[in-house]
Chain A
Amino acid sequence: TQLLEQSPQFLSIQEGENLTVYCNSSSVFSSLQWYRQEPGEGPVLLVTVVTGGEVKKLKRLTFQFGDARKDSSLHITAAQPGDTGLYLCAGARVSSNTGKLIFGQGTTLQVKP
């Protein structure tokens, strides 16, 4: 059983469309991080959310942390081909003081021109 369930696993859309990726858990996290990973490279940190209900924006990307700190979402507006990649959510559990990250399975996004 995956502690962090990420959906959808695959998404193929046309340039200009909007999309939302979800990251859900029954556990509470002290923080949740979103990464983007391209083939042959390591994950690159996009954002860290810490406070329940927090919303952060990074250009066309909007990240939200659930009020209960059990879930998060990533919304992309007007997707571009350059947004193509693997999106990973990762949480640090409240019970851990070391920052051990638990990752979701990832969402592979393909944006077609």
Chain B
Amino acid sequence: DAGVTQSPTHLIKTRGQQVTLRCSPKSGHDTVSWYQQALGQGPQFIFQYYEEEERQRGNFPDRFSGHQFPNYSSELNVNALLLGDSALYLCASSYTGGSNQPQHFGDGTRLSIL
């Protein structure tokens, strides 16, 4: 039973470019949340997708957008990359996304902006 899988594992971009990160949730899960984790910090919530719609959003600018597909997989898009976007981007999946449902994380995509 595959857990949460993310791709790519590492990515290097330059300022101003755009990037797309991908996530496949754990089998049986229908909700995907994205988090940004800066070095030495705890993850920060970006947004959550359920039934192919953005259900909740954290304090991130509109440069961060996402999508969820009918098979529950998800993409995170970041436009006009800034140096400060360098971080580990984590995807977490859960079932229905209820407040007490455990979230299972992938190993993340390490994004470096030059």
B-binding residues in A (CB < 8 A): 4, 6, 30-31, 33, 35, 40-45, 48, 50, 88, 90, 92-94, 96-106
Contacts and interface: CB of A to CB of B under 8 A. Distances in A.
A98 B55 contact: yes
How many residues of B sit at the interface, in one of the four size bands? Answer: 20 to 34
B56 A98 contact: yes
B42 A99 contact: no
A103 B94 CA distance: 17
Given A98-B97, A100-B56, A45 B102 contact: yes
B99 interface: yes
Given A92-B99, A92-B100, A99-B101, A42 B42 contact: no
Nearest to B106: A42
Interface of B: 4, 31, 33, 35, 40-45, 48, 50, 55-56, 58, 90, 92, 94, 97-108
A33 B99 contact: no
Given A42-B105, A99-B103, 12 more contacts: A4-B42, A41-B108, A44-B105, A45-B105, A92-B99, A96-B56, A98-B31, A98-B98, A99-B100, A100-B33, A100-B56, A101-B35
A104 B37 CA distance: 11
Interface centre among A6, A42, A45, A48, by most B CB within 10 Å? A42
A100 B58 contact: yes
